[in-house]
Amino acid sequence: MPDLLSELSFLFQRLNILSALDLLLVTLVFLGILLLVRDTQAMVLLRGMILVAILLTLLTSLVNLPAFSWLVRTTLPTLLLAIPVIFAQEIRRGLERLGRAGAGTIILPTRPEDALAIQQTIKAIVTAAARLSARQHGALIIMQRKDGLQEYVQTGVRMNASVTPELLLQVFYPNTPLHDGAAIISDNRLTAAACVMPLSASGILNRSPERQMGLRHRAALGISEASDAIAVVVSEETGSISIAHNGRMIRRLDSERLENILNAFYQPPPGSGSPFAFLSRLFNRGKKDQEK
Specify the range with the lowest mean pLDDT, choosing from 27-41, 163-177, 238-252.
27-41
In whole angstroms, give the CA distance from residue 167 to residue 164: 5
Given 71, 103, 135, the domain boundary residue is 103
Q: Tell me, yes or no, whether 194 and 116 share the same domain.
A: yes
**Residue range(s) defining the domain that contains residue 157:** 112-269+277-288
Asked if residue 140 has pLDDT above 60, the reply is: yes
Q: Tell me, yes or no, whether 147 and 242 share the same domain.
A: yes
Contacts of 32 (CB under 8 A, 6+ apart): 282, 283
What pLDDT is recorded for position 277?
Answer: 47
Q: Tell me, yes or no, whether 158 and 183 share the same domain.
A: yes
What pLDDT is recorded for position 160?
Answer: 92
What pLDDT is recorded for position 182?
Answer: 95
Q: Which residue has the higher pLDDT, 216 or 210?
A: 216
Q: Tell me, yes or no, whether 59 and 88 share the same domain.
A: yes
Contact 168/122 with Cβ under 8 angstroms? no
Q: Tell me, yes or no, whether 127 and 92 share the same domain.
A: no
- What's the sign of the alpha-carbon dihedral 156, 158, 160, 164? negative
Q: Which residue has the higher pLDDT, 113 or 186?
A: 186
In whole angstroms, give the CA distance from residue 149 to residue 229: 9
Q: Tell me, yes or no, whether 136 and 64 share the same domain.
A: no
Q: Tell me, yes or no, whether 11 and 59 share the same domain.
A: yes
Three-state SS at 193: strand
Q: Which residue has the higher pLDDT, 59 or 232?
A: 232
Which CATH number fits the domain that encloses residue 172? 3.40.1700.10
Given 49, 82, 103, the domain boundary residue is 103
The per-residue pLDDT of the chain, averaged, comes to 77
C-alpha radius of gyration, the chain, whole number: 24
Given 103, 134, 161, the domain boundary residue is 103
Specify the range with the lowest mean pLDDT, choosing from 64-78, 153-167, 235-249.
64-78
Q: Tell me, yes or no, whether 219 and 193 share the same domain.
A: yes
Nearest to 158 by CA among 121, 183, 141: 183
In whole angstroms, give the CA distance from residue 95 to residue 33: 10
pLDDT above 90 coverage of the chain, percent: 30
What pLDDT is recorded for position 291?
Answer: 44
Q: Tell me, yes or no, whether 257 and 180 share the same domain.
A: yes
DSSP per residue, 144-170: --SS--HHHHTTSEEEEEE--HHHHHH
Mean per-residue pLDDT, 178-201: 91
Furthest CA-CA distance within the chain: 76
What pLDDT is recorded for position 99?
Answer: 60
Q: Structurally, how many domains does the chain consist of?
A: 2
Nearest to 184 by CA among 223, 133, 222, 135: 223
Mean per-residue pLDDT, 191-197: 94
Q: What is the pTM of this model?
A: 0.61
Mean per-residue pLDDT, 116-134: 93
